[in-house]
Chains A and B, each alone.
Chain A
């Protein structure tokens, strides 16, 4: 029996993405001004298309990272935020910004800080992956707990950095940490992150059956022919790089890596191949939609970052989903 969500859900998700994309191009609100719906010309169109691309890439990358981590750790609570990957990537970029400021040189390139983000996120992954093993075997709960702790440590180091840098830079760092989709995101950053998101999503979809097998024990996956170590390591690598790419473009944006796979699972079920594709669509729709919301809610003093919208709306939505699923399972 096919659930109604499975029949119309995919079409609705694609429609939501298209509506959000159209809104991001057409809707704007100048600071302190009224809401405007217009076809932008010239430079405005360029800026909005860049913001749209950045939002879609960030959403897709975070969603795919969440799918991979949840599959590999057999835990629906796993996400780049909870495992500390996003915080590690953010710490990497902030450290690069702070050190660059101290040296009087930019250590964050035109790609938005992809290298320091990958270094930070990758370091966290190595630590979490290394400490979350027992007798050489991955312990999903152990990984999650280590991730939570490492995430807290990274958060502490980020706060420390904010206190150590000069006042002018501190404001920029705080704004960046809130998660902002910038209209002026550089082409190189978009191409780099877009390429990473595309390859990561394609790998996840292609290796879907192997990731399905990881839902069971390592022994079972091995017995049916999955190269467990290779698949898991590659999945971790992609999860880290995808989260780092998203952070490099927009800073840490909460809940998307957790929420998108859950919404996608409600629509298409748990086969990783279809889950990966649907999560990309939903992740992109959520971030672009949050950015539209951020644009519409501009205040006299500035715009609300998209990361604030995903956190404020995504958190309660996730709790509602969680309770709804629990009720379904109990009934």
Chain B
């Protein structure tokens, strides 16, 4: 206490404020980088899952009678043999009723038409020829053209989120380098005339250096925690803005619970300030002690 008072009176104050700001920025940028990376991936995966690639083949009823199973089986066999067709499936009556409920406001009268679903990547003229060759009354409903337009958008989204994450990581690293520079800058204290005088008079510099290292570690920790607070607030605001796109149904759902952020990711974010604090303290203390030992 006595010595710290002496130091406060006789030495220039170090740039703890700037150091804390660097630590806060570093945490913020790195956190935003992780968020951009995870958020972009999660959003594109979520949209991709919701894309409908299904083609419907509807076989209408004839004279109020259901289509025979043999006829359906023939159509399914013919469709399955086409190149580019996959997941050929004959819908059950319950599935058909659910589907028709979306298409018509009133209940569909029995008998319901037979519906075959499939994923088809080939030429639709070939599919039409193959089906109409067996039954000219069948209707072929290709998937929503939105799925075709969304693919390039998703590619852009993935590239964009990677780019933003990269920029954020770069800014975080630059902020870290700034903090590192400031902590190494304490070595300039070795040139300080007043510190030199105190050393000559027998002032225990190792204690002073230890206390400086603790201050630096504390500043890094405080800055990191502030950065973490800003980051959480920012991400919560952003997730509330993009809530419709993320398909968050309830208000209680946040970016923390809805995306693919795992507890490990949260731990990494929480650990960053502590890591910065420890590293800063160790670097500062070690460098200053090395300088002290080389004095004789």
**Does B associate with A?**
no
Q: List residues of B whose CB falls within 8 A of some A CB.
A: none
Give me the interface of A with B, judged by CB distance under 8 Å: none
